[in-house]
Structure 1
Amino acid sequence: MPVITKISVQQKRTDRYNIEVDGEYAFSVDEAVLIEFNLQKGREMTKAEAEKIQIRDNVRKGFNAAIHYLSIRMRSEKEVQDYLKKKEVDEASRQEILTRLHDMGYVNDSQFADAFIKTQMQTTDKGPYLIHRELKEKGINEETAFSLMEQFTEEEQMEKAARLYEKQLKKYKRDSAFLQKKKAEEYVMTKGYSASSIKKAAIKHEPDEEQEMDALMYQAEKAHRRYQSYEKGEYRQKMKMALYRKGFDLSDIDKAIEKLQEE
């Protein structure tokens, strides 16, 4: 029967040991596995037992990898599963590892989802729909996600949506009120806010006539530089089409064109 002839500590990993059987390297094991199977020099070991030891060691390696992964930040069960798959840990070992992690309180989807929502609310501009979608991608079930998302109140959603909306209006202040509103609404929607929240945010920001005229003149001057070499009739037509496409009112466009032509 094969006999363990040498056990030595690895140079770079002092928690792992190389096992030699009948004078030749056979495999390496974690310190916990070494102790669990009482591995020592002179001990006889069958082939079946050697395979069992290596399976146990694979579980231990996967468990250690998962612990390190979780030490960086909280993770959902799906994230840990995906990580272990990437590490090529077999399915049976993954299930055993996850069971141990659950029992030790290191993996808990409800606690993870709650912390994730709070972090997103406090540190990002994301709305409820976007956060909910990300929870789903991380494997959180609908019931848990829906229940915990209630902490993101309508009032908070409204406040954040309004801030984002106002910020976008300022960003596009050189555009027409129509385009400003359109771009702001589209942006806030991509951040995961509901149509009703966006509508309420928009109500607070009625178009400013003076600002609208400033934006019109800015765009008109740009168009004028492009079309000023055209014959009068064609020039006027192209100017009106260009400015109308940008969302300005036709009567205001006529005033802007007349003003430019007077200069």
Structure 2
Amino acid sequence: MMITSVEKDTKNRGMLSVFIDEKYAFSIPEEDYFRLCLYDKKELSSDEIEEIKKGVSQRTAKYKAVKYLSYRYMTEAELSQKLRKDGYDEDVILNVVTELKSMGYINDLIYAQKYVYDRIKLKPKAKKMLKRELNQKGVSDEIADQVLSELDFDEDVVIERLIRKKFGKYDMKDPKIQKRIYSFLLHRGFDFENIKRVLRTITHLD
């Protein structure tokens, strides 16, 4: 099989389309084209072509992965899903994720710690709700449990703070206000009995 022509890819800047035996075979970054000396009339075996395709796929997947991570920190699962949607094979995704983990670009433990810290600071929720959200992000039970077990977090204190902040200006002995309080806190994952206990304490004090 012989490279019969090479054309600039009009849709992807810096990429070249390589034609073998007059048919499109693959696209490749210009730098790789010159590095591999893929000039016109060069003969390639089917194994060489597959090796080139695999190498190009690996490098472009890594480039995209780093670009995604430059926008925001991600879990392994989130990044893998992004690359999967881009059409990369599972072995390519695994290799890229493994490499980026070894380089420190991905760390689910650090991600979970930062996520929980931000949540507690900006939008406090019950631990079970935080764990559910971490699981949805692809964080394992083991890592989620570790991070949450290390969290200095008294749910009663958080519940009281949320009640006073959001409903402090209302009569919290009013059944309608209490219904709103329960709805608000239950939606954030707090247990009914815990809410009831804290609310009873607040209304007796007030």
- Give the Cα separation in 2 of the matches to 1:84 and 1:118: 28
Counterpart selection for 1:185 from 179, 182, 202:
182
Cα displacement string for residues 11-44 of structure 1 (whole angstroms, at most 9, x for unaligned residues): 4533322223355543211346435644233422
State the one-letter code of the partner of 1:104: M
Matches within 5 A, 1:143-162: 143-155=142-154, 157-162=155-160
SS at match of 2:92: helix
SS at match of 1:41: coil
Query: In the alignment, is the contact (CA less than 8 A) between 1:162 and 1:202 conserved in 2?
Result: no
Q: 1:152 to 1:196 in 2, by over 3 A?
A: farther
Matches within 5 A, 1:22-171: 22=21, 25-31=24-30, 33-34=32-33, 37-155=36-154, 157-167=155-165, 169=167
- Give the Cα separation in 2 of the matches to 1:58 and 1:113: 30
Task: Give the RMSD, CA atoms, in angstroms.
Answer: 2.9
Q: 1:172 to 1:129 in 2, by over 3 A?
A: farther
- Give the Cα separation in 2 of the matches to 1:180 and 1:207: 17
Query: In the alignment, is the contact (CA less than 8 A) between 1:77 and 1:109 conserved in 2?
Result: yes
Task: Give 1:8 shift.
Answer: 4.3
Give unpaired runs (5+ residues) of structure 2.
Answer: none
Q: 1:176 to 1:60 in 2, by over 3 A?
A: same
Give unpaired runs (5+ residues) of structure 1.
Answer: 209-263
- Give the Cα separation in 1 of the matches to 2:151 and 2:169: 27
Going by fraction, where is helix more abundant, 1 or 2? 1
Larger Rg: 1
SS at match of 1:204: helix
> Normalising by the residue count of structure 2, what TM-score does the alignment of the two structures yield?
0.81
State the one-letter code of the partner of 2:184: Y
Query: In the alignment, is the contact (CA less than 8 A) between 2:173 and 2:203 conserved in 1?
Result: no
Counterpart selection for 1:205 from 163, 183, 203:
203
Q: Sequence identity, in percent?
A: 25
SS at match of 2:189: coil
Which of 1 and 2 has higher RCO (CA within 8 Å, sep 6+)? Answer: 2
- Give the Cα separation in 2 of the matches to 1:36 and 1:131: 49
Cα displacement string for residues 77-126 of structure 1 (whole angstroms, at most 9, x for unaligned residues): 11112222222222222212211221222111111111111121222233
